[in-house]
Structure 1
Amino acid sequence: MTTLKSNALNKENQRHFSTKNMWTGILFGLGVVAFIDEVIFHQLLHWHHFYDKSTTDIGLVSDGIFHAFSFFATVGSAFLMADLHRRQAFWPKRWLGGIFLGAGVFQLYDGTIQHKLMGLHQIRYNVDILPYDLVWNITAVLMIVVGIVLLKQTSKKK
């Protein structure tokens, strides 16, 4: 009987902290995708810097600031998730929906606003950029759709 009460309490807590589960996932998704972008495209492949409109030194400083953002977002989300666990309110499926939504929104923002509108950098230089843009932005939209589906499946109205 105690397990049934405990499970009911967890479900009630999950519903009560539904928004916090989502935002914790979104923050984690933003941080992880930013971290992956920084490590793979900036550091390992040397395709671009966060800010490519100046010297390489400025580009490296901008990468460091970007990397710090990704680190703080990821660590901050870990603290929020720990609080959800402490309250017995962690909702894995809703959190995962937030991750996909946050990761997709970040990537779509990066691919459209930063790459095209602001021109801070491109994914890659001296190549036909269209295939890179398509893969980047289509992947972002797919992550957003997966996130929305997971969040709809875990809405408070159920």
Structure 2
Amino acid sequence: MTKGARAALVLGAGIGGFVDGIVIHQLLGWHHMLSGWYPDDLHRNMIGDGLFHLLCLLLVLTGVALLNRAGAVPARVLWGGVLAGWGVFNLVEGVVDHLVLGVHHVRTGPHELAYDLAFLVLGAALVVVGRLVARERVAR
């Protein structure tokens, strides 16, 4: 894997985390970072969300710094890596936070496992699409 591809993966993981936090935590209000452990403690959940967003910011800044060090990166490698990194974020966060630790679920309620599994399927699809976008074009 090239330096540019690694940088794009890190950047994508941070962007994926921001999309998750902004859309699912804030706009839809389906959960907070710690809502599985502290369902009725909004203060703790807001701190958890803030720490989560801080981690996302650090990933994005690290990805940008790595991209700067990598030099010119082909657009297909950059955007393919961003998609794959977002997918990796979903897979790691989905397995660790949703399934193993129970920190929260995508959406609590009667179909919470279905939402958690759909989050993982989306993550796997993003990895596949990202790898397809990033791969070398075969000359004919």
Deviation string 1:27-57 (CA, Å, 9 cap, x unpaired) is 1111111001111111122211111212221
Q: Which has the higher helix share?
A: 1
* Equivalent in 52, 63, 87 of residue 49 of structure 2: 63
Q: How many residues align?
A: 134
Residue 91 (structure 1) aligned with residue 77 (structure 2): no
Say if 2:53 is the partner of 1:79: no
Of 30-39 and 134-143, deviating more is: 134-143
Q: Which residue of 2 aligns with 1:51?
A: 34
Alpha-carbon shift at residue 127 of structure 1 (Å): 3.5
Q: Which runs of 5+ in 2 are unaligned?
A: none
Return the index of the structure with the highest Cα Rg: 1
Write out per-residue CA displacement over residues 85-105 of structure 1, whole angstroms, 9 at most, x where no aligned residue: xx4x32221222221221111
User: Which residue number corresponds to residue 25 of structure 2?
Assistant: 42
Instruction: Select the residue among 7, 13, 25 that pairs with 1:30.
Output: 13
Deviations 1:102-128 (A, max 9, x none): 111110112222101110100111241
Report the aligned-residue RMSD.
1.9
Structure 2 partner of 1:120: 103
2:128 corresponds to 1:145: yes
In 1: Cα distance, 2:79 partner to 2:23 partner: 23
CA distance in 1, matches of 2:96, 2:61: 26
Range 27-36 or range 103-112, more displaced? 103-112
Distance 2:88 2:69 in 1: 25
Q: Unaligned regions of 5+ residues in structure 1, if any?
A: 1-17
Distance 1:38 1:81 in 2: 24
